[in-house]
């Protein structure tokens, strides 16, 4: 992976056509320049359709023929999801892609005319000039299995949010209508509790049915033995309930809708996790990640999906930077600023690594030992958060080695470099 600005600038050669594109939902704007920043054609306005893409292809092809250019690098801002289709099209055509930071575009747009004006004609030029100067980021569009994993992880995240929201709404309903229910059942999501909420959701219906009928109903569905004592405890709780009773017809309907939503999302969630496992096992060496104590399906899938092909990285530090876990500091002269992580990069990868480390520290003895050493070492001890961030970097190195070299997780070898100094991270 080419990372330094010099290496990026060196990719812009005499025979390179630099195209800046301002992305829109329905219409895109493009301008073309050479390696010195001289504009080579008039502004192109094209639609976000197949015909528009073909128009762009002809426009670039004609310029390359007239100006004797042999390659194209197209730069654009990552404007939401609107660039996905165009990016895929340009990649299929064999063109290089470059993403520029929207903040950089905002800061440099006044260089040409000393005006804060922002419009669809000006932005493509600003983008192209940033690309020409090497101030861009290489675009990585995952192929096949890695894109599938990214989509699966994003969909699981969406379903998990829906499940959590529905769970909280059911808890709210119980707090209002039947607050004593939680004293009988620890979790309303259990099979017996869920059946009770479907058939006897309110204290009135519990009292009307009685303990014997409730027990008989439970035994028609729940295979394991269910005792009469729990049914009696439910009836007793219902007899002393302080839950609201007005508006019970509509509230019962609301609860049944919530339960149906929960079961739907839960079933979708389970099917998706099965799909995630099937996809993960298709990636070389990815199954080895699951053998690390504390590393689960979600952690492994998130890491592989967000990083993509591991062989595009030359060093695990590049993955650390991709996740925004690399260390940065603000220092000047005698002032030494506080060192923190950059928080620049793929947010889902950074969050996944952090949550994974929390789980790993609860189960994995090797990482637990490293954590304790970070906290108690004589020289420059870390606090808990600093240690967790440092161990996230360690986890990245472990994952990188396993995926790139195909080796199995070795606790002894993993502990071998614990003497390496660790910088403070906040």
Tens digit of each residue's pLDDT (9 = 90 or more) over 135-162: 888 888 777 899 999 999 999 999 999 9
pLDDT of residue 338: 72
Helix (H, G, I), strand (E, B) or coil at 119: coil
**pLDDT classification of 329: cutoffs 50, 70, 90:** low
Residue 79 confidence (pLDDT) above 90? no
- Please name each of the domains of the chain with its CATH number: 5-141 (3.30.420.140), 147-277 (1.10.287.4070), 286-417 (no CATH)
Helix (H, G, I), strand (E, B) or coil at 314: coil
pLDDT of residue 1: 45
96-105, 172-181, 377-386: which has the highest mean pLDDT? Answer: 172-181
Residue 396 confidence (pLDDT) above 60? yes
343 or 256: which leads in pLDDT: 256
How far is Cα 382 from Cα 69, in angstroms, rounded to an integer?
54
Q: Is 336 left (phi over 0), alpha (psi -120 to 50) or beta?
A: beta
pLDDT of residue 222: 82
pLDDT of residue 30: 96
Q: How many CB atoms lie within 10 A of CB 57?
A: 16
Q: Is 134 left (phi over 0), alpha (psi -120 to 50) or beta?
A: left
What length does the chain have?
426
**pLDDT classification of 422: cutoffs 50, 70, 90:** very low
pLDDT of residue 2: 46
pLDDT of residue 340: 81
Beta-sheet pairing, 327-332 with 335-341: antiparallel
**pLDDT classification of 290: cutoffs 50, 70, 90:** very high
Cα 301-303-307 angle, rounded to 5 deg: 120
Of 225-234, 244-253, 397-406, the least confident: 225-234
Q: Which residues pair with 29 in a beta bridge?
A: 22, 45
Instruction: Please state, in angstroms and as integers, the Cα–Cα distance from residue 7 to each residue in 4, 77, 85, 175, 382, following that order.
Output: 5, 21, 28, 61, 36
Alpha carbon 104 to its chain's center = 24
Residue 107 confidence (pLDDT) above 90? no
222 or 153: which leads in pLDDT: 153
First CA to last CA distance, the chain = 28
pLDDT of residue 333: 60
pLDDT of residue 373: 92
How far is Cα 193 from Cα 73, in angstroms, rounded to an integer?
60
Instruction: Tell me the pLDDT tens digit for each residue of 6-17.
Output: 888 888 899 999
Residue 425 confidence (pLDDT) above 50? no
How far is Cα 11 from Cα 110, in angstroms, rounded to an integer?
26
DSSP state of 343: -
pLDDT of residue 114: 63
User: What is the mean pLDDT of the segment spanning 251-277?
Assistant: 96
Match 């529905």 to its residue by tokens: 166
Cα 412-289-324 angle, rounded to 5 deg: 95
Phi first, then psi, for residue 70 (nearest 5°) are -115, -10
Residue 230 confidence (pLDDT) above 90? yes
Residue 289 confidence (pLDDT) above 80? yes
């Amino acid at each position: 992976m080419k990372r330094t600005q010099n290496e990026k600038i060196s990719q812009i050669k005499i025979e390179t056509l630099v195209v800046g594109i301002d992305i829109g939902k329905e219409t895109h704007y493009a301008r073309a320049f050479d390696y010195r920043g001289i504009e080579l054609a008039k502004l192109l306005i094209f639609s976000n359709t197949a015909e528009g893409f073909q128009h762009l292809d002809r426009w670039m092809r004609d310029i390359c023929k007239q100006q004797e250019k042999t390659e194209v690098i197209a730069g654009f801002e990552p404007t939401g999801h609107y660039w996905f289709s165009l990016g895929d099209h340009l990649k299929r055509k064999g063109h290089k892609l470059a993403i520029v930071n929207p903040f950089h575009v905002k800061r440099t747009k006044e260089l040409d005319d000393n005006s804060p004006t922002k419009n669809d004609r000006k932005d493509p030029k600003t983008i192209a000039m940033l690309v020409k100067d090497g101030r861009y980021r290489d675009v990585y569009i995952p192929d096949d299995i890695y894109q599938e994993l990214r989509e699966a992880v994003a969909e699981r995240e969406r379903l998990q949010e829906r499940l959590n929201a529905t769970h909280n709404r059911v808890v709210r309903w119980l707090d209002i209508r039947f607050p004593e229910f939680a004293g009988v059942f620890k979790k309303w999501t259990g099979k017996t509790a869920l059946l009770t909420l479907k058939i006897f959701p309110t204290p009135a219906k519990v009292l009307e049915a009685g303990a014997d009928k409730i027990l008989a109903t439970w035994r028609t569905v729940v295979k394991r033995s269910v005792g009469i004592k729990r049914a009696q405890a439910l009836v007793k709780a219902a007899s002393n309930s302080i839950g609201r009773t007005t508006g019970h017809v509509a509230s019962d309907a609301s609860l049944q809708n919530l339960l149906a939503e929960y079961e739907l999302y839960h079933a979708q969630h389970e099917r998706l996790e099965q799909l995630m496992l099937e996809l993960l096992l298709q990636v070389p060496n990815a199954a080895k990640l699951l053998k690390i104590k504390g590393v689960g399906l979600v952690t492994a899938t998130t890491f592989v999906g967000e990083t993509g092909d591991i062989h595009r990285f030359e060093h695990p530090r590049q993955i650390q930077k991709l996740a925004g876990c690399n260390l940065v500091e603000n220092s000047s002269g005698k002032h030494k600023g506080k060192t923190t992580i950059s928080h620049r990069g793929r947010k889902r990868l950074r969050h996944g690594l952090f949550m994974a480390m929390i789980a790993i520290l609860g189960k994995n003895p090797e990482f637990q030992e490293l954590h304790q050493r970070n906290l108690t070492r004589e020289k420059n001890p870390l606090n808990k958060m600093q240690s967790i961030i440092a161990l996230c970097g360690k986890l990245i190195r472990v994952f990188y080695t396993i995926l790139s070299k195909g080796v199995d997780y070795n606790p002894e070898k993993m502990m071998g470099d614990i003497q390496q100094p660790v910088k403070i991270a906040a």
